Structure 1
């Protein structure tokens, strides 16, 4: 199996952490001004790293480049209506209101996070994430 542990660079880690926790129903898994882990149901969903921190690996972002350009952070949720309610309560900037994507055949709402990343929150699709019901070898 493979687990996705996406890391994005942000200007303000605590502000981005609060935004993602509110929108996704997550919790802080690390905390701090330079690095954060967003957890949902105890699983690492997203990592945030401040753009101007070199840390042990060098800088992760070009300070002259626009953050989020060409990136869509896509999150599938099991309860789309509850996710939309969280988005509304958070005051997040909605780019595209809830709709059904004709290609993916799932409900989606498209947002912009504080750094300009495109964030898509989508309802259940035909492709199940790990941990959800899957056919067994006998099926």
Structure 2
């Protein structure tokens, strides 16, 4: 599953499709946990411990504008809410699970697919996410 995320983030569509087919056969059981952990780490990388509402709104607007999909499939308010809840676990949200997956995926691609993220940086984030999931 880590290789699936790595190829998705790096834009290696052929490898990503092959890995996706393998996962379709093996199962995606732990993928939501891994995706959530990588999302949390990506949000932390982007904002650190604190972010203003304006910074989050700006980030979501930029992320949606650069999205490789129709930005309409990502609800801006839901994205802002989910990012805020990643920064402050005390916050609750009612974002639907399908939308959560879309937001998490797009956020991960936007933050970790940025030009300033090296392969080593990406590997470190993915390894940390695996460790986080192992502690759940």
Q: TM-score, normalised by structure 1?
A: 0.33
Q: Which has the higher contact order (CA 8 A, sep 6+)?
A: 2
More helix by share: 2
More strand by share: 1
Indicate the structure (1 or 2) with the bigger Cα radius of gyration.
1
Q: TM-score, normalised by structure 2?
A: 0.34
